[in-house]
């Protein structure tokens, strides 16, 4: 069985996907980690700047994602990424890497290498995946699809609070503009833009607790 959660940044889809995977005992693939890992490694291993990230060398991408170099694991409720045997998960949780990932995620050559990796996991496991196009492009045959969203201001508040917990102080107006810009970039990109799958169930997380949201999703799945 495959369950997908798509939606904009700050909607809560990753948190919900992880908790749902734990409840059901499913394998969880954080598609954002795949793109963040690639962006981080293009910068750290090959010295890419923002301009280069928008047109990455596919040989570099292929080298990074080769099965001898790149490993994604999900065990005991924790997603971890390794490169050449060294864990890089701790490098993937900052706003700079997130921004860099959004630059490469629209590149057709990058997607042609990452999508087969995602589908391989779908062939191997009962799987839950969150991202921008999991239900529309990666797993169009998924048995259950959810589109997770929330008001722009609430998503910006969540992102600001998340950064504050990491010791990063950014004023709300700047966060709001960043969130809106990310939405526009994700929804208008030529390759696999963010959109609701026709058969996806839309869930607004703006004013619901995590427990309420999980209960809503589990009821849909159990029915």
Per-residue pLDDT of 78-108, as tens digits, reads 999 999 999 999 999 887 898 899 889 878 9
Distances (CA, A) of 72 to 78, 191, 207: 11, 24, 33
Distances (CA, A) of 115 to 127, 139, 215, 218: 15, 10, 30, 27
CA dihedral 72, 182, 44, 115 (to 10 degrees): 40
The DSSP bridge pattern shows strands 2-6 and 78-83 to be unpaired
Distances (CA, A) of 43 to 37, 49, 71, 101, 212: 10, 7, 18, 11, 40
Residue 10, pLDDT score: 92
Per-residue pLDDT of 102-144, as tens digits, reads 889 878 999 999 999 999 999 999 999 999 899 999 999 999 9
- How many residues are there in the chain? 223
Please give the Cα distance from 43 to 137 (Å, whole number): 27
Please give the Cα distance from 186 to 170 (Å, whole number): 22
> Domain limits of the chain?
2-207
pTM above 0.85, yes or no: yes
Q: Are 4 and 142 in contact (CB under 8 A)?
A: yes
Please give the Cα distance from 102 to 53 (Å, whole number): 10
Name the 3-class secondary structure at 126.
coil
Residue 189, pLDDT score: 83
The DSSP bridge pattern shows strands 70-75 and 78-83 to be antiparallel
Please give the Cα distance from 169 to 8 (Å, whole number): 22
Give the class (CATH, top level) of 2-207: alpha beta
Looking at the DSSP assignment, which residues form a beta bridge with residue 73? 80
Per-residue pLDDT of 205-221, as tens digits, reads 999 999 999 999 999 99
Residues 6+ apart with CB under 8 A from 184: none
> Which helix (H) or strand (E) is 81 found in, with range?
strand 78-83
pLDDT band at 24 (very low <50, low <70, confident <90, very high): very high
């Amino acid at each position: 069985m495959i369950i997908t959660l798509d939606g904009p940044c700050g909607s809560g889809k990753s948190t919900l996907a992880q908790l749902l995977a734990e409840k059901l005992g499913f394998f969880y693939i954080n598609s954002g980690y795949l793109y963040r890992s690639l962006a981080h490694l293009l910068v750290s291993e090959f010295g890419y700047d923002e301009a280069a990230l928008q047109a990455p060398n596919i040989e570099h991408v292929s080298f990074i994602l080769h099965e001898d170099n790149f490993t994604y694991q999900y065990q005991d409720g924790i997603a971890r990424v390794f490169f050449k045997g060294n864990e890089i998960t701790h490098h993937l949780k900052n706003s700079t890497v997130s921004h860099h990932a959004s630059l490469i995620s629209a590149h057709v050559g990058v997607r042609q290498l990452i999508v087969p990796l995602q589908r391989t996991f779908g062939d191997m496991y009962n799987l839950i995946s969150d991202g921008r196009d999991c239900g529309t492009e990666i797993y169009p045959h998924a048995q259950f699809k959810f589109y997770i969203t929330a008001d722009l201001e609430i998503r910006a508040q969540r992102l600001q609070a998340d950064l504050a917990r990491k010791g990063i102080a950014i004023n709300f107006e700047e966060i709001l503009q960043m969130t809106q810009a990310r939405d526009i970039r994700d929804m208008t990109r030529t390759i696999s833009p963010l959109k609701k799958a026709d058969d996806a169930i839309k869930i607004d997380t703006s004013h619901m607790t995590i427990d309420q949201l999980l209960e809503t999703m589990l009821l849909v799945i159990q029915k």
